[in-house]
Structure 1
Amino acid sequence: MFSRACEYAIKIMIYIAAKELEGRRTGLKEVTEAIDSPEAFTAKILQQLVKSKLLNSFKGPAGGFELAQNQEIRLIDIVIAVDGEKLLEECVLGLPSCSSRNPCPVHDKFLLIRNQLKETLLSTDLRDENLLKDISKLKA
């Protein structure tokens, strides 16, 4: 459903949020080991999340990554930062003219699923304790 990068981004953000509860920042190597992700790919995703202002990055001995403190971060924010709004807005079959007025063959069926997905992503905060309680499940 989501791109591979988006799946990793969600795992990265959950891991960083969990470690932040322990009062510490998280470095690149720790994240890659914790979620079993390629280091270069993870670094690119982290850069993208910093650029999207979902993460803050700090250099030096006490450096690492932490969640942006001045905002609520929902799963939809991560999805949009990495994959854009394509999944939530465009035709599931990739047709350019699909709409309520001119629906594709699966438009109405997918509309319900899309709306449920969007609601779930909108209503799930990254700091939700259910997301953070067992980060050992983040490994592939």
Structure 2
Amino acid sequence: MFSRTCEYGIRAMIFIAQHSKNGARVGIREIAAGIDSPEHFIAKIMQELGRKGVVQSVKGPNGGFYLDDKGRECTLAKIVRMLDGDQLFTGCGLGLRQCSEAHPCPIHEEFKKIRQEIGAMLENSRIGEFTAKLDEHQLFLKRK
């Protein structure tokens, strides 16, 4: 459903929210280990998210990434749009460019409902809301 970039980006943002909630900063190595991703790949993703203003960073020996209150309120939908574009929210289930209300593909109506439900879930999910359940080990971010 998401690109690998988007999967890692969402997981990284949730990981950072969990580990920076008390003012700590999280380095690339720690993020990569915590979400089971390659360091170089997650570094590029974090650089992009930093440029777009959803995550903050500080350089230097005590530096790293962190989220402020605004970052914790960022929706998963915003991260998806930043990293994958709008295709998930507007695209055809069969990947057809000409699919529309006026010229629907065979799965248009059913896929439209699914796309709307996924969009609503992503719009209503904020990065910071997952931290308590992660702390309680009700959720996880890394493959075992």
Do the two structures share a fold, i.e. TM-score over 0.5? yes
Distance 1:27 1:16 in 2: 9
Aligned to 2:111: 110
SS of 1:102 mapped into structure 2: coil
Deviations 1:4-38 (A, max 9, x none): 11111111000000012232011101101111110
Is it true that 1:23 corresponds to 2:23 in the alignment? yes
Q: Which amino acid aligns with 1:27?
A: G
Q: SS of the counterpart of 2:57?
A: strand
| Map of 1:138 onto structure 2 | 141
Q: Report % sequence identity.
A: 43
Letter of the structure 1 residue corresponding to residue 127 of structure 2: L
Change over 3 Å in CA distance of 1:59–1:11 after alignment to 2 = same
- 1-side partners of 2:92 and 2:36: how far apart? 33
Residue number in structure 1 paired with 2:56: 56
> Are 1:83 and 2:84 matched, yes or no?
yes
List alignment gaps of at least 5 residues for structure 2: none
Q: Over residues 93-116 of structure 1, what are the superposed CA-to-partner deviations in whole Å (9 max), with x where a residue is unaligned?
A: 121111111110000010000000
Deviation above 6 Å: which 4+ runs of structure 1?
none
Structure 1 runs not aligned, ≥5 long:
none
Contact 1:53–1:68, Cα closer than 8 Å, also in 2: no
108-117 or 96-105, larger mean C-alpha shift: 96-105
TM-fit CA distance, 1:68: 4.8
Q: Note if contact 1:76-1:122 (Cα within 8 Å) is conserved in structure 2.
A: yes
SS in 2 for 1:134: helix
- Three-state SS of the structure 2 residue aligned to 1:25 is coil
The answer to whether structure 1 residue 95 and structure 2 residue 71 are counterparts is no
